Amino acid sequence: MNYLLEISEVAEGEILGIESRVALNSPKNAKAITDNLVKSMRNLTLFPKMGVALKGKFGIDTNFRALFNSKYPYVTIYEVIDKTVYILRVLPSKSEYIKTLGF
């Protein structure tokens, strides 16, 4: 059974920001990156636990999961509640994303 996908306004803004920054140098790459990010999010509707549980990886008290993009340097932070995958943030994977999340 497929899960529903909900993308927060914050995450949408971050995706648009990534696209805008990359498009300054390469519009073609900007589209490829955003298409890849969205495709990986859609995959979560089929495999919602394919990301890493932050609780297990960092020992923090949260149900958030992190999906690291294998092609581009971004991490999608999400949470699964019932049959819905909530995309919370899309951040550079080399950033201090745990601090950005407030942990």
What pLDDT does 99 receive? 83
- pLDDT on residue 45: 97
Residue 28, helix vs strand vs coil: helix
Over the stretch 17-45, which tens digit does the pLDDT of each residue have? 999 999 999 999 999 999 999 999 999 99
Q: What is the pLDDT of residue 73?
A: 96
Residue 68's pLDDT band (cuts 50, 70, 90): very high
Q: What is the DSSP letter of 25?
A: T
Domains of the chain plus CATH, in order, are 4-100 (3.30.2310.20)
pLDDT at position 8 over 90: yes
For the chain, what percentages of helix, strand and coil (3-state, to nearest 5) are there? 40, 25, 35
pLDDT of residue 81: 97
Q: Is the pLDDT of residue 100 over 90?
A: no
> Packing angle between helix 9-23 and helix 27-43, nearest 10 degrees?
150
* E strand intervals along 1-103: 4-7, 52-53, 65-68, 74-81, 84-92
